Amino acid sequence: MNLHEYQGKQLFAEYNIPISKGKVIFSPDEVIDACNEIGGTKWVVKTQVHAGGRGKSGGVELVDSPEKALEFSKKWIAKRLVTYQTDSKGQLVNSILIEECTEIKSELYLSAVVDRESQKIVFIGSSEGGVNIEDVAKNYPDKIIYQAVEFKDKNLADQSIDIANVLKLNDDQTKQFIPMIENLLRLFVENDLSLLEINPLVIDDNGDLLCLDAKINIDSNALFRQPKINDMYDETQEDPQEAEAAYNDLSYVSLDGNIGCMVNGAGLAMGTMDTIKYFGGNPANFLDVGGTATQERVTKAFKIILRDPEVKVVLVNIFGGIVRCDLIAEGVIAAIKDVDIKIPVVVRLEGNNAELGAEILLNSNIRIISINDLAEAAKKSVELAK
């Protein structure tokens, strides 16, 4: 789950991590008061969406009067911002973060992730901030440090100094940096983060460290013990079908093809998409209906798949493990009747009682194309989608 920048910065404030003075607004009515409350003569106004590349797309501006901030808010609130990281529809802007303007001496980069290889939390730091870190990693590998850390480890201060050296911090800044790393790590662990990125981390005109951005991802598996974070969920930032699927405990990702896929198991769902592509078709979605594939789940899955108007055919691929294929077949038939599907449905059942399942599909008197062989089922779907 992703957080907005302003939500991330609220967490930063709680953990004494330095951020600019600012205020989030949800309506243009709040803008003038917010600017006055922050004070100063210049403000940075930033649209809040779950996507990067806001600056280059007009979603971030520097304004020199509250009226210009108001104008910016009227332009963006309730509109959609398209950046290179969003799809062509863009992301809905519900809120704008207004911050005091910071004079920047230099821009740095700092992030933390759960690293799969070392199986530790790793801080990544670079003296090159404000740009894409993947480019820095490629072009200037010596300007990046990867430092594995452990919570409550006595070596953390020394490790922070190693990062500070790569960031070329002076003694005063390093003194600010050591507790900052400790606080960021505490924030990471206590809130079950999977990613934390500050790009840029800056040195301001007083020579102090300041986090100008905050990108935070939370481990979805840990939301049960993070009620406060759970409340920060903004469903307007999610694809509506994906959000509905998640609500129904189905795993769904929308794609741009026209063959709807309903599969049990995430790996097999990916494998099915690949097989469709291999035979010249285009999958409309990834959907894992789960291990049990009951009638109720299959019905919900059909409804979500069919909400996509591009879908011309649905390929159901179920490997019946513990659940018998004859029961799955009955579930699929009932679901198709319930949802009243007008497009062809190709069903491939394999595993436990597969033959009986196929027979039930065959005798169902509804338009189901039952094909036991996955390659043939995929080919048939591709043909029907044309």
H helices of the chain, in order, are 5-14, 31-38, 66-76, 133-139, 156-166, 171-190, 227-230, 240-247, 266-278, 295-306, 325-339, 354-362, 374-385
Build a one-symbol-per-residue string for 190-209: x at contacts with another protein by CB under 8 A, - elsewhere: --x-x---------------
Q: Which of 39, 88, 89, 119 binds another protein (CB under 8 A)?
A: 119
Would you count residue 270 as binding another protein (CB under 8 A)?
A: yes
Region binding another protein by CB under 8 A among candidate stretches 21-29, 66-74, 164-172, 214-222: 214-222
Phi-psi region of 58 (alpha: psi -120 to 50; beta: other; left: phi over 0): left
Query: Strand locations in 13-139, DSSP E?
Result: 22-25, 43-47, 60-63, 80-81, 91-92, 96-100, 104-115, 120-126
CA dihedral (262, 266, 271, 276) positive or negative: positive
CA angle, residues 215, 182, 234, in degrees to nearest 5: 25
Would you count residue 183 as binding another protein (CB under 8 A)?
A: no
Paired with 92 in beta bridges are 80
Tokens, residue 152: 């409550």
Tell me if residue 146 is catalytic.
no
Region binding another protein by CB under 8 A among candidate stretches 62-70, 169-177, 208-216, 283-291: 283-291
Q: Which of 117, 142, 171, 231 binds another protein (CB under 8 A)?
A: 117
Identify the three-state secondary structure at position 372: coil
Would you count residue 84 as binding another protein (CB under 8 A)?
A: no
Would you count residue 350 as binding another protein (CB under 8 A)?
A: yes
Interactions with another protein, residue window 217-236 (CB under 8 A): 219-222, 224-225
Q: Which of 80, 278, 337, 362 binds another protein (CB under 8 A)?
A: 278
Region binding another protein by CB under 8 A among candidate stretches 26-34, 116-124, 161-169, 300-308: 116-124
Would you count residue 18 as binding another protein (CB under 8 A)?
A: no
Identify the three-state secondary structure at position 100: strand
What is the binding site for another protein (CB under 8 A)?
Answer: 114, 116-117, 119-121, 133-134, 189, 192, 194, 219-222, 224-225, 251, 253, 255, 263-278, 283, 286, 288, 291, 319-322, 350-352, 373-375
Q: Would you please indicate which residues are annotated as catalytic (active-site) residues?
A: 109, 197
